[in-house]
Amino acid sequence: MHVAYKTDWNNASALPAMPGHFSPNGAPRNNERGYADETIIAQLPTLKKYALRLTRSAHLAEDLVQDCLARALSRRHLFHSDANIRPWLFTVMHNLHVSNCRQSGVRVTFARSQMAITSEGREASQEHAADLNRVFRAINTLPKEQRDVVVLVTIQDLSYQEAAKALNIPIGTVMSRLARGRDRIRMILNAPKG
């Protein structure tokens, strides 16, 4: 729930009333179980400080506080009125923040994958294709032991441990073969073209 306006945190009465939560004379109703709106709204300064610590951004903190208030006011019947409300509100806010971070991470990952897909679909330039062919020819000149390690780690993107397990050799051997293979490839690629 992101809004485009700034809330006046100093005037809690400016917050819109939630339907059904006030009696006809305007006084807040207490639920059978739960806090009245005033009790939740009284925690605004503390919630705002906590939101700023979580998000490190005034804009994101304001959105988080508003989301927390909406969630708390809509679910206050779940809270027992004989307990302290502040930890419950902090839990609500923390869970919302974690959820927002996860959603943001998913969006970033999706955007990166889409960018990778669109860039993979492009035709390689002739120069790029020639360079790539030189690298593959250099890899093919390596001794089999080095070539296997270079292909698994650099092309197949396996970790050293995974490559060691796949080749049934110690990790130290993987690392030394990879280093020697990379050095040889560099030497071949940096050699003057003749």
Topology adopted by domain 126-190:
Arc Repressor Mutant, subunit A (1.10.10)
The residue type found at 85 is I
Angle at 15 between CA 14 and CA 20, to 5 degrees: 125
Q: What are the contacts of 141-144 at 24+ separation with CB within 8 A? A: 141/184, 141/188, 142/181, 142/184, 142/185
Sign of the alpha-carbon torsion through 41, 44, 50, 53: positive
CATH class (in words) of the domain with range 12-119 = mainly alpha
Query: Could you tell me the pTM of the whole model?
Result: 0.43
Q: Delimit the domains of the chain by residue range.
A: 12-119, 126-190
* Cα 46 from Cα 144, distance rounded (Å): 65
pLDDT tens for residues 19-59?
A: 444 444 444 444 444 456 778 888 899 999 999 988 888 88
Same fold, 12-119 and 126-190: no
pLDDT tens for residues 54-74?
A: 888 888 899 999 999 888 888
